[in-house]
Structure 1
C-alpha cells in the first residue's frame, strides 16, 4: 500500500454499454484518472479491450455495474456480468472488479455541460467521462477504506454463468 491507502499500479475502468464502452485509466500512483477512448460495442469490442489491457498493463479492471435505485440488478447488469466474464477469461490473471455506477452518466453529462459542450458534442465522449467518474469513485473508496473497491468478479467455468 502507498501512503494514500492505495495499492500501486495502473487501473482501467469501463463504462460498458451496448453501443459504446467508455474506457479510462489512471497513473500508477492513482492520482490522475483520465479518458482513454470509446470502444464500439459489438463483435470486436472484446478484442479491443483485451488490447488495451495488454497496452496499459493494469493491476485490475474496474467495471461499472448498473443498479436500480434500490440497489438491485436488472437485465443490463446481468449482461455486463456476462461480458465482464468473457473479458476476464481473456485477460487472466488480471482481476476484474465491479463498482456501483449509479448516476455516473448523469454526472458525466453535467460535467460536460458545465464545460460548455452541447448534447451533440457530448455523445462522442460521455462514455469516457463516465468511465473516469467510475475510476475516480473506485480510487476514492480504496483511499478511504484501504481495501480494493467494489466486488471482485468470481469466474466460474465457461457455460456455468
Structure 2
C-alpha cells in the first residue's frame, strides 16, 4: 500500500511517499501554501496522482507532548483530507525538522539554500519513522 507524508508548515507543506513493507521514503517536493481550501484541493489531487490512500501528517506537539494551536490547525487540514476519502494518521513531528536540518548540513550548498528542501526532508523522515514502526 502506498503511503504519503506531509510536513505542514505556515508557508510550505513538505511531501513524501513510500510503501508499507519497504523502509524507504522518497521526497516529492513541497506545496507553497495559498489558502486552506486551495491547499486541500492541491493535496488531494497530488495524493490521487501518487495513488496514496493513507496520509501520515506530522503533528507539531510542544516539548512536553501537549497540542497547541499549530497542532489544531494541522488536525483541521487532516480532517479535510479525511472528508475527501483519505485515511489520515497523525505522527509526532517534534524533532523531524531539526533532524532534517542536521542532514542538510552535509548537502551541497544549492540544496541547503532551497527553503522547501527542509520541509520535503522533514516529510521523508516522518514517513521513514512511520514505515519502520508499521512496516
Do they fold alike, i.e. is TM over 0.5? yes
TM-score with structure 2 setting the length: 0.90
SS at match of 2:74: helix
Distance 1:86 1:71 in 2: 24
User: Which of 37, 40, 47 is matched with 2:29 structurally?
Assistant: 37
Considering fraction of residues, name the structure with more strand. Answer: 2
Provide the C-alpha distance between the structure 1 equivalents of 2:111 and 2:26, rounded to a whole number of angstroms.
21
- Asked which structure has the greater RCO (Cα within 8 Å, sep 6+), the reply is 2
1:101 aligns with 2:109: no
Is the CA contact 1:46–1:87 (under 8 Å) kept in the aligned structure 2?
yes
Tell me the SS of whatever aligns to 1:102: coil
Q: Give 5+ residue unaligned stretches, structure 1.
A: 1-8, 144-161
Residue 12 (structure 1) shift = 0.3
How far apart are residue 119 of structure 1 and its match? 8.4
Following TM superposition, by how much is the alpha carbon of 1:73 offset from its aligned partner in structure 2, in angstroms?
A: 0.5
Cα–Cα, structure 1 residues 18 and 11, in superposed 2: closer, same or farther, change >3 Å? Answer: same
Task: Give unmatched runs, 5+ long, in structure 2.
Answer: none
TM-score, structure 1 normalization: 0.76
The equivalences for 1:1-161 within 5 A come to: 9-27=1-19, 29-43=21-35, 44-90=38-84, 92=85, 94-117=86-109, 121-143=113-135
- After superposition, the CA RMSD in angstroms is 1.7
More helix by share: 2
Q: Which runs of 4+ in 1 moved over 6 A?
A: none
Question: The residue matched to 2:66 in structure 1 has which SS?
Answer: coil
Larger Rg: 1
Q: How many residues align?
A: 133
How far apart, in 1, do the equivalents of 2:95 and 2:110 lie? Answer: 19
